């Protein structure tokens, strides 16, 4: 499948969810609505022409005041069968800082979603174990947010009894 056909295929099946897309130097990217749900991601995984069966990474970007929505959750997929890649972006506002979990479709999403929660404070609806993964539970705030105070003091944690 040619690179342009990946985006065309997605738009033909889920065009109402697609906000924006681009294909630049072999880099396919679609931006979709936050409420696209797991059906969209299931389509990416199960459609024979796409077959994005490998979740490479999930991360987030904090735009503070550069975009209408403060955050974007960014997914990177790869098709082992077809040797093609796709980036999916989902805008997330600070007021409704939650996205749907995809751990039911890709088990590796568990770690990535916990890391995003820990570092950015974006929650994932229906995540099986959404708790801090890199920082201790008493840590206040989310340190990869651009407005996180770099000199902020954290509660001291003593030895465990």
**pLDDT reported for residue 79:** 96
In tens, the pLDDT along 101-157 reads 999 999 999 999 999 999 999 999 999 999 999 998 888 999 999 999 988 888 777
Q: Where are the alpha helices (DSSP H) in 15-158?
A: 37-46, 109-120
**pLDDT reported for residue 1:** 57
Counting every residue written for the chain, the total comes to 161
CA 102 – CA 70 distance, rounded (Å) = 21
Do the bridges between strand 27-32 and strand 54-62 make them parallel or antiparallel, or are there none, so unpaired?
unpaired
**pLDDT reported for residue 95:** 94
The kind and range of the H/E element at 17 are: none
In a 13 Å sphere around the CA of 89, the CA atoms on its Cβ side amount to: 17
pLDDT at position 7 over 60: yes
What global pTM score does this model have? 0.91
In tens, the pLDDT along 11-48 reads 999 999 999 999 888 789 999 999 998 999 999 999 99
How many other C-beta atoms are found inside a 10 Å radius of the C-beta of residue 32?
22
Report all structural domains of the chain as residue ranges with CATH numbers, in order of start.
3-125 (3.30.460.80)
**pLDDT reported for residue 3:** 59
CA 20 – CA 17 distance, rounded (Å) = 9
Residues forming beta bridges with residue 88, ordered by sequence position: 30, 75
Collapse the DSSP code of 81 into the 3-class scheme (helix H, G, I; strand E, B; otherwise coil) and give the result. Answer: coil
27 against 81, higher pLDDT: 81
pLDDT at position 65 over 70: yes
**pLDDT reported for residue 89:** 98
The kind and range of the H/E element at 14 are: helix 3-14
Residues forming beta bridges with residue 92, ordered by sequence position: 71
CA 102 – CA 115 distance, rounded (Å) = 14
Closest CA to 90 of 68, 75, 104, 76: 75
């Amino acid at each position: 499948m040619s690179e342009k056909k990946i985006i065309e295929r997605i738009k033909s099946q889920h065009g109402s969810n697609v906000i924006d897309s681009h294909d630049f130097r072999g880099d396919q990217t679609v931006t979709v609505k936050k409420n696209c749900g797991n059906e969209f991601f299931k389509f990416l995984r199960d459609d024979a022409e796409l077959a994005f069966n490998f979740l490479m990474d999930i991360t987030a970007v904090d735009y503070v005041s550069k975009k209408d929505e403060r955050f974007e959750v960014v997914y990177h997929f790869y098709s082992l069968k077809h040797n093609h890649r796709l980036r999916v972006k989902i805008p997330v506002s600070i007021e409704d800082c939650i996205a749907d979990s995809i751990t039911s479709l890709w088990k590796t999403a568990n770690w990535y979603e916990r890391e995003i929660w820990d570092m950015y404070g974006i929650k994932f609806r229906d995540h099986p174990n959404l708790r801090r993964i890199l920082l201790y539970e008493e840590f206040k705030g989310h340190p990869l947010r651009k407005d996180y105070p770099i000199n902020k003091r954290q509660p001291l944690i003593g030895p465990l009894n």
